[in-house]
Amino acid sequence: MNIFRLAGDMTHLVSVLVLLLKIHTIKSCAGISLKTQELYALVFTTRYLDLFTDYISLYNTVMKLIFLGSSFSIVWYIRRHKIVRRSYDKDQDTFRHYFIVLPCLVLALLIHHKFTFKEVMWTFSLYLEAVAILPQLVLLQRTRNIDNLTGQYVFLLGAYRALYILNWIYRHYTEPHYVHWITWIAGIVQTLLYADFFYYYFQSWKNNVKLQLPA
């Protein structure tokens, strides 16, 4: 565990908890894409299948349980909570799941390290995580006016990815056989998706104006 990895995990954790807390306290999910949240729930479910078979560390197990629990709680709030679900803007959040899920599944079946159920599911989760933010980015682009919390949520998620890249560079130099190109390529693609958002986020922060994305 290095400082980049820990900072990345903490940023990821804070992003998810900020979102859950926001939904819980203001009883609104305005600006949040249910599609992205469902994809994340699927990402964690397929990635953490090893929760039942392998033990890595207490830290690892606890974090996995938090990510699983929080992602399913968010989906539950948006779909089932009687007040929260009213604020969900279904008409704007139109991205199709299968449009993302199917290509990732096909890719995972074709490109993986080992052809076992667990390994293919793990690889699928990496590909899926790389693009799961797309419905959220499309929603931000459409609504244009982004409230602070949604902006911070997306910013924290992007920061988490950037920190993971630093972690891989660090591990590559400190651990002799640390070469995981599937993880790296998926991670770099994922981080690049945030580049555009980051640009406007920093602009708005620098000029001290409300974050708006161009149409």
Partner 1 sequence: RHYDYDHDEL
Q: Which is nearer to partner 1, 43 or 211 (CB)?
A: 43
> Using CA atoms, how far apart are residues 157 and 12, in angstroms rounded to an integer?
6
* Site membership for partner 1, residue 24 (CB under 8 A): no
Compare residues 54 and 196 and give the one whose CB is closer to partner 1.
54
Query: Closest separation between CB of residue 168 and partner 1, Å?
Result: 9
Judged by CB under 8 A, does residue 9 bind partner 1?
Answer: yes
Nearest distance in Å: CB 83, partner 1:
32
Within 8 A by CB and 6+ apart from 66, the residues are 13, 16
**Which listed residue (122, 153, 155, 197) binds partner 1 by CB under 8 A?**
122
Nearest CA to 143 out of 91, 206, 85 is that of: 91
Closest approach of Cβ 177 to partner 1, in Å?
Answer: 8
Which residues lie closer than 8 Å to 132 by C-beta, 6 or more apart?
36, 39, 40, 43, 100
Q: Report the nearest approach of partner 1 to the CB of residue 16 (Å).
A: 11
Reference 77, options 39, 26, 150, 152; nearest CA is 26
**Which of 14, 18, 64, 85 is the binder for partner 1 (CB under 8 A)?**
64
Choice from 50, 107, 138, 204 touching partner 1 (CB under 8 A): 50
- In Å, how far are 25, 30, 49, 59, 97 from 45, measured between CA atoms? 26, 25, 7, 18, 16
Give the separation between CA 139 and CA 188, rounded to whole angstroms: 22
Please say which residue, 98 or 115, places its beta carbon nearer to partner 1.
115
Site for partner 1, rule CB under 8 A = 5, 9, 12, 50, 54, 56-57, 60, 63-64, 67, 113-114, 122, 164, 167, 177, 180, 183
